[in-house]
Each structure stands twice: as C-alpha cells, then as structure tokens.
Amino acid sequence: MNPRRVAITGLGLVSPYGGDLTDFFARLTAGESAIRHLSTDDQPQPLSIPFVSCPAFDADAELGKPLASMMDRFAQLGMAAAFTAWADAGLPRAADAGSRDHWGVAWGTALGGTLAYEKGYRDLWQRGRDRLPPLTVLLGMNNAANAHISIQLGLGGVSMSHTVACASSAIAIGEAFRRVRSGEAPVMLTGGSDVPQAYGVARAWEALRVMAPGDAKTSAAACRPFAADRRGLVLGEGGAALVLEDWEHAVARGARIHGEIVGYGTSCDHSHLVRPEVAGQVRALNATLADAGLAAADIDYVNAHGTATAEGDPVEIAALRAVFGERAETLPVSATKSMHGHLLGAAGAIEAIATVLALREQAIPPTANLNPDTLDPACSGVDHVFSGRHGVSLRTALSNSFAFGGSNAVLAFRAVTR
C-alpha cells in the first residue's frame, strides 16, 4: 500500500499565552516572554525560580467540574487542548456508534500525575493520614490523559502514552503520523501535557543544576538559548494537541488544513543519560530527511530544541552543521523555549504547533534574549533568528526534540500551497 499523505487539521493549546493560536504566534514572533517568577513560600522549604504557568486556565470552567475532578492537572490541560484541537478540526465530540473504532490517540507526558501523588505522600507522611482518596492511582497514572481523551471523544483505536522525557510528545506525534500514513487510522489526536509544579519535582530538577536562576525582575529573560551567558532551562506547564488526518479523508469532508506532516526520525545516543551526542542527533535528523524524501537544501527553518543548557546547545548546533553543511550558514534556526519555557512532555507538541504556524503564516519567531553580541561562538555557524521575521518564504521546516536518556526525535512539516 502506498503511504498516505497526512494533513494537520486541528491545533489546540493551553499555554501561558492562552489558547488563541493567532495571539500565541503573534506574541512568539514579537519575542514576548511568558516566563514569570514562581515562589513556593507555602512549601516545606521556600523555592524561588523562574517558571511558566497557565494562570488563566480554569479546569472546572473548561471541562465541567465532574470531569475535571477525575483528573490531575496534567490531564486537565491535555483534555482542554485536545477539545480545542478537535473543535478546530471541525469534528463533533459525539460520534455515531462504531464510526471512530479505528481513530486513535497518541499522547506524551514526562511526569504524569505528579501533583496527585505528591498530595498523597503529604497526606501519609506529613498529615498522618492512614488512607488516600480512591482515585489517587487513576489521577496519577501516565496514561490518564490519553484514556480520558479516548473516552470523551469515542476513539476506539489505539490509545498510547509515550514517556520519553523531553521528547515525549514529539515521539507521540511521530507515532501518530506513522499510523495515519500507513492507513491504520484515518484520524489520530496527538500531543502532550505536563505540570512540573510539584514541589518535589521542582527540587529534583534544581538538584540537577540545569535550571536557570532568576528573580521577579529578571525571570522574563532567564532562558537564553545559544547565548554565551546562558544559565539553564526554565520549566513550565501546558498542553498542546494536533489532529492528524488522512489527506483524502480531510479533503472529502471539506476540512481546513493547517499544514502537512511529512517525516519523522528517531535515534538514541546510547552513550550517556544526560550528556547529548552529536552523532545521535545527526542520525535522527538524517532519518527524518530520508523519511520525508527531502534533501538538506529543502529545509527552510528549524525550530531547535534549544534549552539554554551549557552542553546541549553547542551539540545541537554542531549536529545541524554536520547535516546541513554549507547550507547551515543560511539556515534560519530559533528556540522558542526562550519564551514559552520547557514544557517537558508537552515541549515537542507546542514547538510542533509553533513550526506549523511558522509555515502557515510565513513568519519565523526569534530566539528571545539572544543577539549577535551575546551569541556563544560555540553555537555559531547557523542563521540565528534574533528578532521575528515576517514575509519570508518557507516551504518545509523541522522541529527538534532531544531528551535525557539520549532519545532524539525530529519532525518534518510542509506548508500547504494556497
């Protein structure tokens, strides 16, 4: 069977910028940071860090209190993003019996329901309680988001949860893409969500010494990918979802098509848990180009993984230089984590949406907090986007996700010709 084309017909966000796609992308291209100061004075020990949150999100209002009460916040964010993407695709929530038996879900999360488990631990060990709420396991399990999405939308096909650290939702999108392209599923809802606000999670990340410092005055500029003075990543919460659909199926029902996903590649560095490797990232980049039937010269933009860590940024640029050769010097590259933060299991999905919108709007968001004077020489050799670019000519783009554990995933997208 010939591979099928895969359309992107729905996009949905729960982000610190809100859920409006136009506003989200406008603020990204304007270089507007959503990073704020998070204080945990109510915790056992104070923790003061830059963070990205979604303060306007009201789960009860978005989902209804009965449904929201059955979910940890990571699943609430995921469900709300999924509902938004589903509506954006023009698909009704209710389905005729059996009509969606082969439609599926692939979801990414690095942490799952850590808030539910942390509350349980505190109830047991701090408050001296001898039992926990009966839904604790169901709130905390990593597949809670995709399970609820499948139930609420009547999706009877595959329902998968991918937990691959920072590459979780990129891999979820890639695996969903493969199922639609192969003809196994005409429609897949995919994406990711995470909430790293649990006190224990934040302290664990702090102990790794990869988190950027900052206070109320400096937090907005705390994340500086590729800059010589970069200090580390900024954690954040959020959810992002995409509806992937067989191209002919989408056209037949008159769906609006945001873009096309055309390639997916993965690899493992197989060398170190936290130290990235150029060769592994090169394998993932080359696998994606081969899967998409594209040459390096065909790529017009790369949304970089770009976490602003000391080791990660130079390795990613070195991998791009190795794959793109002389083309790298004129290849636009930007890291939107500088503005929306690192959403862990949701990172690949929100960056995939940013990449699709870049192709759709023919504009490139910048790497905020970076300029020619602050660029690390070890990260040179590509066309860094220091300020938003509009009216550009973009046909194809890549979105990179590189995770702890050495897992690498790259997605390739193509603009829809109007």
Task: Give a yes or no: residue 306 inside a domain.
Answer: yes
Q: Which residues are catalytic?
A: 166, 305, 342
Residues 62 and 167 in one domain: yes
Is 315 found in the same domain as 202? no
Give the residue numbers spanning the domain of 128: 6-252
Residues 122 and 186 in one domain: yes
**Per residue of the chain (418 residues), what is the pLDDT tens digit?**
678 999 999 999 999 999 999 999 999 999 999 999 877 655 666 677 899 999 889 999 999 999 999 999 999 999 999 999 999 999 999 988 889 999 999 999 999 999 999 999 888 888 888 888 889 999 999 999 999 999 999 999 999 999 999 999 999 999 999 999 999 999 999 999 999 988 889 889 988 999 999 888 899 999 999 999 999 999 999 999 999 999 999 999 999 999 999 999 999 999 999 999 999 999 999 999 999 999 999 999 999 999 999 999 999 999 999 999 999 999 999 999 999 999 999 999 999 999 999 999 999 999 999 999 999 999 999 999 999 999 999 999 999 999 999 999 999 999 997 5
**154-185: b or e for each residue (b if 16 or more CB lie within 10 Å)?**
bbebbbbbbbbbbbbbbbbbbbbbbbbbeeeb
17 and 114 both lie in a single domain: yes
Together in a domain, 288 and 194: no
Specify whether 322 is located in the same domain as 410. Answer: yes
Residue 258 lies in a domain: no
The closest of 333, 338, 340 to 319, measured between CA atoms, is: 333
Specify if 25 maps to a domain. Answer: yes
- In terms of domains, do 274 and 243 share one? no
CA distance 198 to 289: 38
Q: Is residue 178 part of a domain?
A: yes
42 contacts: CB under 8 Å, gap ≥ 6 = none
Residues 175 and 307 in one domain: no
| 400 closest CA partner among 70, 242, 170 | 170
End-to-end CA, the chain: 28
Among the three residues 207, 225, 252, which one is the final residue of a domain in this structure? 252
Rounded to whole angstroms, what are the CA distances from 404 to 165, 173, 275, 392?
6, 18, 8, 34
Q: Are residues 96 and 198 in the same domain?
A: yes
297 and 157 co-located in one domain: no
Of 252, 280, 306, the residue at which a domain comes to its end is 252
Same-domain check for residues 243 and 277: no
Residue type, 74: F
Domain assignment present for 321: yes
In a domain, 43, yes or no: yes
pTM: 0.96
252, 282, 317 - which closes a domain? 252
**Number of independent structural domains in the chain:** 2
Same domain, yes or no, for 269 and 190? Answer: no
1 in any annotated domain: no
Q: Is residue 257 part of a domain?
A: no
Supply the CATH number for residue 144's domain.
3.40.47.10
